[in-house]
A and B are shown apart, each in its own frame.
Chain A
């Protein structure tokens, strides 16, 4: 049954697709509320140079952003496509400063985005199959995604290992690490490791650590919940907000100084 197959949840745990949908919706609501708070907070700023603060209009931030993006730059101005491709996607500003840090970040970025996109795609295929009774068979589709899933999971893991090593073994990084940084890295690590374990138990690989396949559904459930929590709900309230704020900053400042 396709819906039981979704995220590895089975009837034996009495966790149904609907319940997962409720959890997802809850995560999205928490995310949206957080973004609402952030937009109000950002919108408390002035809309122009030297202006007075406001009580926080939801539209103040988008208006100011658009105005700043369309203003003429002094000498740093560059085309928006260049910013999108080179600064946001390729992250050349990090590469200029530190190739190691760039490699760490780009692997996390690419791994994370690819896994997120594939999860979203899988979800859409399951929904299409369930509601419209059309599109590819979810099980077949899942198998198709199996290899890229593995590849990008390891790409993500590589970045996370470098990030942890830097925080542990580089004195400068270790001394400057605060909870704000640790929670981000800790969350990422937990999501990634639980994903590997859930997949390992289901497929009986090394990552399953020899656990019986009956542990696959709860492991998958834990992975889904923790992913929804960190990947979506927690973004506006933590350092995860940089995933949204940095691209916007680069766009606002035309790629930066």
Chain B
């Protein structure tokens, strides 16, 4: 008798991850904290616990005892399709992993499931499919010509051809939120730090492809990582600075995996770099910023990599700033809603999460809601606008921009094309 083949396969899921499905004790802690489940009006399909349960059932139907004895049980295609929709309704913020009593690495699990479903022909979700074409063809998700990566650089900024320190600008800062790139470059110049950049040779870090499970398509992500690493090596850099939490996370965690080797340089977020300089007494602030500031931990900088203190240290050291913490910070921070491809794929859901996070901030009555990631800035700004607040009522700004202001650097000449 010919047995049916399993409806699902185990591609991209490691043996340990398949075991983790059996480790869920269904305590429901993840459900209490999941930002997209909350913002969706408590759609049960988005609950992390439910996703683990469903994939476990898929596995048991395909590879469990019954499948062993009588052959795999067919899983209706619409169930798999529904599962795909739900597993993409996640910002991969990692809050579920933080609170998981069983210690399941859920972020890796969701990303592995996404990669599996992409290979199977179900994923990704909606517009996320465009990332492959855009990053593969243009090297960035904004359809910009590579020459445009240099278009933001003002005349006064000095960028070395080669240097031990390299600033990896990232697509969003170089092509959209140029104020961030302006501020970073001018701060480094002001502090006398000689740095270089990849310029036209820079390629998207591929975070969007990795988070949405599309990193294996046409080998784009690996090729991009290799191009960037080779470029960085050629520039002689020993330390690479990032002002984008997404690029930072991709470089620190994903590139070594994609390339199968350790990176030959140090990956450092700009706030870590500034914090070190402050500790060494090498930063002399020029201006006071007499505002109340709170800080939103980007998931990719905080929970994913563990950088919590450096951004706070920078903010606290800036004269005039009255720093206030939100209730949910650091490991327990609430996601801004932009990550995991949700902003591109399910913008309404992303906005819902952002509104909640802005409300978290408003409880502390800050003048400025700061962060250290252009995606957080964009989505939190959208959340603020959606709550009908003006920038005068709540300014959303990146730490590096605040640092630039405190160093007396003018950014008035910066043309920020889009938030």
Contacts and interface: CB of A to CB of B under 8 A. Distances in A.
Contacts of B126: none
B7 to A, nearest CB: 13
Nearest to B304: A74
Contact of B18 (A37, A44, A63, A76): A44
A248 to B, nearest CB: 6
Interface in A15-40: 34, 37-38, 40
A159 to B, nearest CB: 14
A52 B11 contact: yes
A12 interface: no
Interface centre among A43, A63, A68, A246 (most CB of B within 10 A): A246
A125 interface: no
A48 B26 CA distance: 27
Given A74-B253, A74-B306, A45 B10 contact: yes
A169 interface: no
B2 interface: no
Given A53-B11, A74-B305, A75-B305, A45 B16 contact: yes
Interface string B214-225: 011000000000
Interface centre among B9, B98, B253 (most CB of A within 10 A): B98
B10 A253 contact: no
A56 B27 CA distance: 29
B19 interface: yes
B121 to A, nearest CB: 15
B383 interface: no
B40 interface: no
A45 B11 CA distance: 7
B18 A42 contact: yes
A53 B102 CA distance: 24
Nearest to A67: B16
A242 B28 CA distance: 15
B89 interface: no
Given A38-B22, A248-B19, A53 B105 contact: no
B12 A180 contact: no
A58 B258 CA distance: 27
Contacts of B15: 42-47, 60-61, 63-65
Contact of A44 (B63, B102, B252, B303): B63
Given A68-B16, A173-B28, A255 B59 contact: no
Nearest to B104: A249
A49 B259 CA distance: 11
A126 interface: no
Given A38-B22, A246-B23, A249-B19, A87 B103 contact: yes
A46 B22 contact: no
B389 interface: no
B112 to A, nearest CB: 8
B317 interface: no
B287 to A, nearest CB: 34
B291 interface: no
Interface in A52-82: 52-54, 56, 60-61, 63-65, 68, 74-76
A41 interface: yes
A91 B306 CA distance: 23
B5 to A, nearest CB: 11
B244 interface: no
B103 A180 contact: no
Nearest to B107: A257
B169 interface: no
A3 B104 CA distance: 45
Nearest to B102: A246
A117 interface: no
A172 B47 CA distance: 13
Contacts of A5: none
Interface in B74-130: 94, 97-105, 115
A133 interface: no
A124 interface: no
Interface stretch (A93-101, A141-149, A196-204, A223-231): A93-101
A46 B13 contact: yes
Contact of B97 (A46, A75, A97, A257): A257
B64 interface: yes
A219 interface: no
Contacts of B201: none
B59 A41 contact: yes
A209 B331 CA distance: 52
B278 to A, nearest CB: 21
B17 interface: yes
A56 B306 CA distance: 35
Nearest to B257: A49
A61 B97 contact: no
Given A38-B22, A245-B23, A257-B303, A45 B102 contact: no
Nearest to B115: A50
A91 B101 CA distance: 8
B14 A46 contact: yes
Contact of A41 (B23, B26, B63): B63
Contacts of A253: 103-105
12 contacts: A42-B15, A44-B63, A46-B11, A52-B12, A61-B15, A74-B304, A74-B306, A97-B29, A176-B31, A178-B53, A252-B19, A252-B20
Given A49-B14, A249-B19, 5 more contacts: A46-B11, A53-B13, A56-B63, A249-B102, A256-B102
